[in-house]
Structure 1
Amino acid sequence: MPQYAVLIFERVAPEDLPPEVMEAHGRLPERIAALGGREVAGMALQPSETATSIRGGVVTDGPFIETKEVLAGVFVIEARDLDHALALAKLTPIADGGVEVRPLLGFEVAEAS
């Protein structure tokens, strides 16, 4: 099945997310499976203040742009097609933000010799 990245954007700091949102994230793999998809991987990100950006070879502490929403986490799902992926992504618990769904490209990784 094709794989899709679901990027989670929040306006709320991770430590300020309501407990019910965090609990709902824990149930997400089961809910996705119930609709015929599969969560391949999922992870939350440290706060944007911990980011280090590289642009044009220049390393800068912190996020590169000011924004009201920050990338808070990402998970990878398997779905039949984009419509199915969107239906599964709608299950993502969000306090105050949204999600972005992107198809993943497959690349062959060369083994180290």
Structure 2
Amino acid sequence: IRESGHYVGCNRLLPPNAALTVRMRNGKVLTTDGPFVETKEQLGGYFVIEAKDMNEAIQIAARIPGARYGCVEVRPIAEDEQTIRALGFEKVGSRKSEF
């Protein structure tokens, strides 16, 4: 992926017991130990890549070693509210959010 020029960055994540979930409610910062959703699957790390479209992103993701024994989720990055709305999603943090 690096040689092809698609690589932007990656990193490992600590296990879920090291996670905190952060919420803002009534002007106060609330934290909860652990991930937001209980699940059997864990997010172990992430890659940020550049791709011209979703098809190219899928082809790049298929070359990530984790795809051989697990799975790789491909998700576009929404960098601003205009993009989020254009994609048909609600603002992050709203009850109707699909993120």
- For the aligned pair, the TM-score class normalised by the smaller chain equals 0.5 to 0.7
| Corresponding residue of 1:18 | none
Q: Does 1:52 align with 2:20?
A: yes
Deviation of the 1:91 alpha carbon = 0.9
Greater relative CO, 1 or 2 (CA 8 Å, sep 6+): 1
CA RMSD across the alignment: 2.0
Provide the TM-score with structure 1 as the length reference. 0.56
- In proportion to residue count, which structure has more strand? 1
Superimposed CA distance per residue, residues 47-99 of structure 1 (whole angstroms, 9 cap, x where no aligned partner): 11100112464311122322111111111111121101100001111264311
Which amino acid in structure 1 is aligned with residue 78 of structure 2?
L
Separation (CA, whole Å) in 2 of partners of 1:98 and 1:29? 20
Tell me which of 35, 48, 54 is aligned to 1:63. Answer: 35
Aligned residue pairs total: 75
1:24 aligns with none
Q: Which residue of 2 aligns with 1:87?
A: 59
Percentage identity across paired residues of the two chains: 44
- Structure with more of its chain in helix, by fraction: 1
Give the aligned residue type for 1:97. G
Q: Give me the TM-score of the superposition, normalised by structure 2.
A: 0.63
Q: 5+ residue gaps in structure 2?
A: 81-99
**1:69–1:97 contact (8 Å) kept in structure 2:** no
